[in-house]
Amino acid sequence: MPTSWVDMRDRSDRRLWLALALSALLGAPAAAQAPQPPAPLPSPLPLFPSDNWWNADVSAAPLDSNSAGFIGLIGGARTLHPDFGGDDGSSYGVYGMIYVVVPGTQPLEIVDFSEGYPDESDVGAPGRPGYPIPVGARTEPKWIEGGQPGGGPSGDRHMLLVDRDRRILFELYATRWDSLASRWKADSGAVFLLDANGRRPEGWTSADAAGLAILPGLVRYDEVFGPDPIRHAFRVTVQSTNGHVFPASHTASTSTSPNALPMGARLRLKASKSIGSYPRRSRRSSRR
């Protein structure tokens, strides 16, 4: 279990939560065609086993002794900036994370990690080198974060792929199609088996930089408009971090401040925070 727990007051407002509805525009299908909202993720949900760190109930976990210091550095009066997706006004019309659901028959593409972190990247799933990247992602928009066909020349360019039949999550960082070399490149790649609690080797990065998966921490359209509470933690980022704690495996900051959160820490909504006045869909979380 993570070793650092922090209470924080929820500073979000109605506009933040209404932005959830825009996430219907996030994804793309497996076939090479005009991207659509992603196909359903494989059940059961949430992703990963019920005892996975993403799904653990931390409501009764002990409070970190430096909770106030962590929140003070983050900024107790700061508002949250959501990346829930939607039209950003650009020609590609995507803001936030994209994920793609593909069948187990999707052909695998070899990805070149030589310009990034080849020693900390997975070449593919066990016994099956390559990533199930649809051909359409080379030339069509909205397959990769940022929306540009083939990933474009800059940005984080995350690409999240789910093999729904084999139950495998593939995540890439700085993904781009090299048309001259006729191959995919990325700075890092990580593969997670959805039926296991596999952790990256100590010191290894991932598309998340903490060595964690990204997709299980996203708030999705189907969760907001579905009948059940959201039973997993939400992925968040902060300005400064210092080191990492389990389940994270990688440090991605040079900060030495004792008040900077370590990668892998959990922020927990205060039990005293009333959410009764928020719209119904804003109360999907089960306070994990």
3-class SS string, the chain: CCCCEEEECCCCCHHHHHHHHHHHHCCECCCCCCCCCCCCCCCCCCCCCCCCCCCCCCCCCCCCCCHHHHHHHHCCCCCCCCCCCCCCCCCCCCCCCCEEEECCCCCCECEECCCCCHHHCCCEECCEEEECCCHHHHCCCCCCCCCCHHHCCCCCCCEEEEECCCCEEEEEECCEEECCCCEEECCEEEEEECCCCCCCCCCCCCCCCCCCCCHHHCCCHHHHCCCCCECCCCCCCCCCEEEECCCCCCCCCCCCCCCCEEECCEEEECCCCCCCCCCHHHHCECCC
Whole-structure pTM value: 0.86
Average pLDDT, the chain: 84
Share of the chain above pLDDT 70, in %: 84
Share of the chain above pLDDT 90, in %: 63
User: CA 122, CA 190: separation in Å to the nearest integer?
Assistant: 5
Which pLDDT band, with edges at 50, 70 and 90, does 286 fall under?
low
Which pLDDT band, with edges at 50, 70 and 90, does 91 fall under?
confident
- 23-32 pLDDT per residue, tens: 322 333 333 3
Which pLDDT band, with edges at 50, 70 and 90, does 246 fall under?
very high
- 49-86 pLDDT per residue, tens: 999 999 999 989 999 999 999 999 999 888 877 777 66
- 255-267 pLDDT per residue, tens: 999 999 999 999 9
Average pLDDT for 204-215? 96
Q: What is the per-residue pLDDT for 12?
A: 29
What is the gyration radius of the CA atoms in the chain, in angstroms? 19
Which pLDDT band, with edges at 50, 70 and 90, does 33 fall under?
very low
